[in-house]
Structure 1
Amino acid sequence: MPSMWENFEIDCTEYLNRKFGDYASFKHMGRSDSTIPDIKVTTKSGNVFYIEAKHCPAQCGQFVLLPDIAKRTFIYSPLNTTPKNTYAEQIIKHMNAQFDEFKEAGTSGKDIIMNNGSEIFSNWIIDTYRNKGVCYFITNNYTIFPIERFSEYFNVSAKYRVKRSGSSHVGKSNIPNILSYIKSQGYDIKSTRIEGGKLFVVLAESLHNQRFILNGYEYMFSLRDSEYEIRKLSNTFNANVIFSIDLTANKSGIGTEEFIRALL
């Protein structure tokens, strides 16, 4: 059964085909794959671009930041599907200055409050979605507007939050590399134990839920009684900067004639 947001995407696609079908075809694309924009537009002349559908309030993009405990900085995850841009760098710089607070954000999350925050967050969204080929957004009441006017229509906030998913044991083949790595990082290891594909360590310090990256994968120290099991996290068990949007005061979108001109 389609979700509410998917129903909205479908409704918008049907609306666009009804109202502007003489000038272009509109195909619902996104579904649950966030790397693909929602609606593909193919004009009669063969031009192709995308429209993103957002029924507010909504989330509007995210990227993974991994805390490096030793260096006290956040790392832009190599598993992100979007390249790091200047706006992500500004957010990371702000979070690094409050490293202790953000690294403990957990599943409840911590709001990212910074000077010109809404503008920076909006620009991240514009840059990221434009790189996916998005030229327009469509939102509540089928309001359509060009992507460069995003900040006129939405209030944007951001939060750093852990999104929970699954984890697994590290696997036999990975244990030697992991042991070598954690020993090289100066962790005060008292003893180690291997059980099948599981790796356990006894530490002199408290590192429960602390994470590290090795060879593109994220691992976590998970307390098990008096020892820690090192767990390999799935790609969806990450701490994310998540952008949320809500509509500003009622604002009309671009006119029908203006949008038709964009389709010619």
Structure 2
Amino acid sequence: MSTAQCGQFVLLINLNEKKFQYSSKNKTSENEYSKMIVDFMNKNFETFSNPGTKGISIQMKKSIFYNWVINYYKEKKVKFFITKNNEEFLIFPIDQFHKYFDINAVYREKKSGSSRLNSSNKSDFENAMKSTNMKYDFVELDIISNEELNKMKISGKKYDYFLKKYDDTSNNKYEVRKLSNTKNANVIFSIKLLPYSIEQQAKDITMFKKEIMNKEFL
């Protein structure tokens, strides 16, 4: 199983005070484990102050990372974790996460997302499309083209743009997404499946079945 992302939160860099701050725009509330990570990074500010897109590994006890992930899913009322390994499904209580996955954390820059094309950026997109020699027509702020443009990225002077074909159309209609220029630095947790105990998996599946049965008879 390849490495997969399993959670993240944004930390803002205060260069004047030489410290990291938990962003108020995070979807998860700050907890004791994220505070431990922030404290560690503040003590090593120079190491993490310029993470770039490659990122810098956070060398802490992995139990802190595991607990952050477990806390994150428990806040979402998750009791069991289900994943697929080759053709088999693995099911285990969230508290047993460490028995199935290795975990690492990095601090790296990540672009903050995209939004629909708007009228103020339309001319920038049109100028960018001229360099591609692709033929298209606008339908409001979407485009129609007989050429294959799905997942094409176009660079304008102000922004980069991404073309996404609508799934429910037969007339080659594309949504134009404006990619953000903003890069936020995130603490990102990544996991990779460990060799696991067959006996442990059998116990965890039994526990899962009991949980389902109890709910059925409530």
> TM-score band (shorter)?
0.5 to 0.7
Question: CA offset at residue 247 of structure 1?
Answer: 1.5
Q: How many residues were matched structurally?
A: 143
Match of 2:74 in 1: 130
Q: Unaligned stretches of 5+ in structure 1?
A: 1-54, 168-232
1:157 is matched by which residue type in structure 2?
Answer: N
Match of 1:80 among 20, 26, 31: 26
RMSD between aligned alpha carbons? 2.2
Which structure would you say has the larger RCO, counting Cα contacts within 8 Å and 6 or more residues apart?
Answer: 2
CA contact (8 A) 2:111 2:180 kept: no
TM-score by length of structure 2 reads: 0.61
Distance between the aligned counterparts of 2:52 and 2:15, measured in 1? 15
SS in 1 for 2:79: strand
**Does the 8 Å CA contact 2:80/2:208 hold for their aligned counterparts?**
no
Alpha-carbon spacing, 1:133–1:112, altered in 2? closer, same or farther (3 Å): same
The answer as to whether partners of 2:99 and 2:196 remain within 8 angstroms in 1 is no
Deviations 1:50-108 (A, max 9, x none): xxxxx652110000000101111100000000000100011001101111221111111
2:210 partner letter: R
* Secondary structure of the corresponding residue to residue 99 of structure 2: helix
After TM superposition, the structure 1 = structure 2 runs for residues 56-205 of structure 1, keeping only pairs within 5 Å, are 56-114=2-60, 116=61, 118-139=62-83, 140=85, 141-165=88-112
Identity of aligned residues (%): 46
Q: Which amino acid aligns with 1:260?
A: K
Matched residue, 2:197: 251
Residue 62 of structure 1 aligns to a residue whose secondary structure is strand
The whole-number CA distance in structure 2 between the counterparts of 1:158 and 1:165 is: 19
2:187 is equivalent to residue 238 of structure 1: no
User: Is this contact kept in 2: 1:166–1:237, CA < 8 A?
Assistant: no
Q: How does 1:28-67 map to 2 (within 5 A)?
A: 56-67=2-13
Q: Is the 8 A contact 1:105 1:160 kept in 2?
A: yes
Query: What letter corresponds to residue 132 of structure 1 in structure 2?
Result: K
Compute the TM-score of the two structures, normalised by the length of structure 1: 0.50
Q: 1:262 aligns with which of 194, 211, 216?
A: 211
Unpaired runs of 5+ residues, structure 2, are 115-178, 214-218
